[in-house]
Structure 1
Amino acid sequence: MEGNIESRPRRQILIATDGSETANEAADFGIEMVGCSGAKIYALYVIDTTPYRSVSLDKIWSKETLDEFERAGHEATSYIERVGKAAGVEVESRVLRGHPAEKIVSFAEDNDIDMIIVGSLGKGGYERVVLGSVSEKIVRHAKVPVLVVRERHKSEKKLIQA
């Protein structure tokens, strides 16, 4: 029986982030849950280019604007790297461009991801009502299990910090 456990391939977990507090909570929870399993974690941030699908980004955004989006992506994924390092977990970061849910699902398929972890709410407030949230789209389209970490209630956060 032990031989089977050792021969099983190492799990790969994808933690999708937009840099929001909820995404960071999802990362904390995910790393805590899978940290002892020896799984490899991919931290993924997607620069949302959905409104500009038919036009080249270079024509809409300046190099400085694109660099700022890249910086925000690296800042968001570096949080996961820091938490992972503290927990002794290997984390590899990626920043992609495109439709967030589509890119997350296709990254998971292309990289043999075993589970996706995502926060329930991101930075977009009203977008959830109009388009359906990124996390909901991931749950609908992913071919692997998806762990959606709900935002902790504000009063609960205050109790924990006290």
Structure 2
Amino acid sequence: MARKTLVAVDGSPQSEAALAYALEEVPESAITALHVVQLPEGYWASFASSEAELPGYEQAQERGRTLLAEAVEAAAEGDREIQTAVVSGKPAREIVDYAVENDFDQIVIGSHGRHGIDRVLLGSVSEIVVRRAPMPVVVVHEQPDG
């Protein structure tokens, strides 16, 4: 049975590094690139009866599809095929839930490398995924040029 690897994709250099890592380091694994459309909370969410009614939702979905098409192209450059998916919600929760529900063996995610007060105030999706995921999680840092 082939191993399954989930790669979180958000368009950042860190997520691009995570995808590149997965494509290079786990060639035997079936890879799925996942984009999470983060839904607004609070004021706007209280007036919407569905996700589609939220301001900017359709544009965010389209951006996700574009990012995933770019991931498919990046994989094809290395003669690899990947699957893709777009889900909506809180990124860390959705990444872990998707991985569990679809029986992934591991998650590969980029780290934004926040430190100090930024990390405390903004949190870290990769940190939450590491703490909550029941499968191994590889956190990839973008390599500096040079």
TM-score in terms of structure 1 length: 0.77
1:131, distance to aligned residue in structure 2 (A): 3.9
Task: Give the whole-Å Cα distance in 2 for the aligned partners of 1:105 and 1:115.
Answer: 10
1:102 corresponds to 2:108: no
Deviations along 1:65-84, one digit per CA (max 9) or x if unpaired, are 22210111112222221122
Q: Percent identity?
A: 32
1:79 corresponds to 2:73: no
Q: State which structure, 1 or 2, has the greater radius of gyration over its C-alpha atoms.
A: 1
Q: Which runs of 5+ in 1 are unaligned?
A: 1-8
Q: How does 1:118-137 map to 2 (within 5 A)?
A: 118-121=109-112, 128-137=119-128
Does structure 2 conserve the Cα–Cα contact (< 8 Å) formed by 1:40 and 1:91?
yes
Does structure 2 conserve the Cα–Cα contact (< 8 Å) formed by 1:24 and 1:79?
no
| Residue aligning to 1:47 | 37
Q: Cα gap change, 1:141/1:73 in structure 2, threshold over 3 Å: closer, same or farther?
A: same
Deviations along 1:87-146, one digit per CA (max 9) or x if unpaired, are 232311111100000000000001110110000018xxx864314210000000001110
Does structure 1 conserve the Cα–Cα contact (< 8 Å) formed by 2:45 and 2:54?
no
Task: Give the whole-Å Cα distance in 1 for the aligned partners of 2:118 and 2:101.
Answer: 28
More helix by share: 1
Counterpart of 1:46 in structure 2: which amino acid?
V
Equivalenced residue count is: 139
Task: Give the whole-Å Cα distance in 2 for the aligned partners of 1:19 and 1:25.
Answer: 10
Q: Which runs of 5+ in 2 are unaligned?
A: none
Q: Cα gap change, 1:49/1:115 in structure 2, threshold over 3 Å: closer, same or farther?
A: same
Task: Give the whole-Å Cα distance in 2 for the aligned partners of 1:50 and 1:146.
Answer: 27
TM-score in terms of structure 2 length: 0.85
Q: How does 1:9-48 map to 2 (within 5 A)?
A: 9-35=1-27, 37=28, 39-48=29-38
List structure 1 segments (4+ residues) > 4 angstroms apart after TM superposition.
Answer: none
| Residue aligning to 2:59 | 68
